[in-house]
Amino acid sequence: MHYINAKTILSSKNGMNLYRGCSHGCIYCDSRSKIYNMNHDFEDIEVKENGIRLLKNALKRKREKVMIGTGSMTDPYIPLESNLKFMRESLELIYKYGHGFTCITKSDLILRDLDLIKKINENTKAVVQMTLTTADDELCKILEPNVCTTKERVNVLKTLNENNIPTIVWLCPILPYINDTEENINQILDYCIDANVKGILCFGMGMTLREGNREYFYKKLDEHFPGLKERYRRTYRNSYGIKSPNNKKLMKIFLQRTDEHGIMNNIEDIFEYLHEFPSHESTKQTTLM
C-alpha cells in the first residue's frame, strides 16, 4: 500500500474511488488492463490520503443532491479498509450532506457499515450492488480467492434485505467452460430470489479479455485448469468480448426467471434506478450525532 495526494475525488458522474488497485485477486479482473495506465502493482494499493477532505469539500459544494457511487474500478471493502475506515468516513459525510449512496462490492466487510447505510437509506437512498459468479464455493475460492465466498455474499444480501436496503446483483463475468452452466445460473438465480434482490445486471453470458487482464487470466488458467488456455486461444484468439457457447440458452433462463419473479433485468433501467436521486420531501441535510 502507498499514499498519494489526489487532485480530485469525484468523477463527472459522481463516482468515487478512494483506493486504486485491489487485493481480492479475481482471476478475470478487467481493472488490471493496460488501458487504465496503472503505474504501480495492482496489489500495491494506492490510497488517496486526502480523499476524505476532498470528498467533504466536493459534497459541501454540490448544489443538487446526488447518488455517490463507488466500486466500479476497485472494491472499496478491501482488507485495508478494516483499519483505514475511509469508506466509513465517506458514508458519514454522505449522510451528513444529505446525498445518496451506492456501492459495488464482493465483501461482507460492508456489513460493518450497515448502521450508516441504513441511515442514508432512511434519509435519501442507498443501494448495495454485489457480484455473484458461481454458486460453487470451491470454484469461488479459485476465481475470487481473497474475498468472502458466494454463500457468505448471499447472507450479506439477505441481511441487507432484512434491513430494507435494496440490492442489485452483478451476474458477471460468466467464464466459458468454467461457470457457464445451467446448474450454476439457476442456483445463483435461486439465491437472488431467496434474498429478494431488486435487480440483476447481466451483460450477456461471457467476459472481456484485453491486454493486461488476459495475461493474468491465462496464467491462472494454467495453474487451475490445465489445457483451458489453449482452448480459449483457439476459440477466441484476441477478441475483447468473449461469449459463452451457452449464451443463448443461459440468457433465456435468466430473462425468464427474473421476469417470473419481478426482478429488474433491463440494463438501462437498472442504471437509471442506480443514478436516480429520490425527490421526496424527507431528503434533507442532517447533523451527525
Q: Which residues bind ligand SF4 (CB under 6 A)?
A: 22, 24-26, 29, 31, 74-75, 106
Nearer to ligand SF4 among residue 66 and residue 103 (C-beta):
103
Q: How far is the CB of 288 from ligand SF4 (least distance, A)?
A: 30
Q: How far is the CB of 24 from ligand SF4 (least distance, A)?
A: 4
Measured CA distances, 62 to 36, 178, 190, 210 (Å): 28, 45, 41, 37
Q: How far is the CB of 142 from ligand SF4 (least distance, A)?
A: 13
Nearer to ligand SF4 among residue 59 and residue 172 (C-beta):
172
DSSP assignment string, 141-164 = HHHSTTS--HHHHHHHHHHHHHTT
Nearer to ligand SF4 among residue 44 and residue 183 (C-beta):
44
Q: How far is the CB of 31 from ligand SF4 (least distance, A)?
A: 5
Q: How far is the CB of 94 from ligand SF4 (least distance, A)?
A: 21
Nearer to ligand SF4 among residue 30 and residue 89 (C-beta):
30
What the block records as the C-alpha cell of 13 is 458522474
SS3 101: strand
Helices (H), the chain: 51-61, 80-84, 86-96, 114-123, 137-143, 150-162, 182-194, 213-224, 228-236, 247-260, 267-275
Nearer to ligand SF4 among residue 59 and residue 109 (C-beta):
109
Instruction: Evaluate whether 175 touches 131 at the Cβ level (below 8 Å).
Output: no
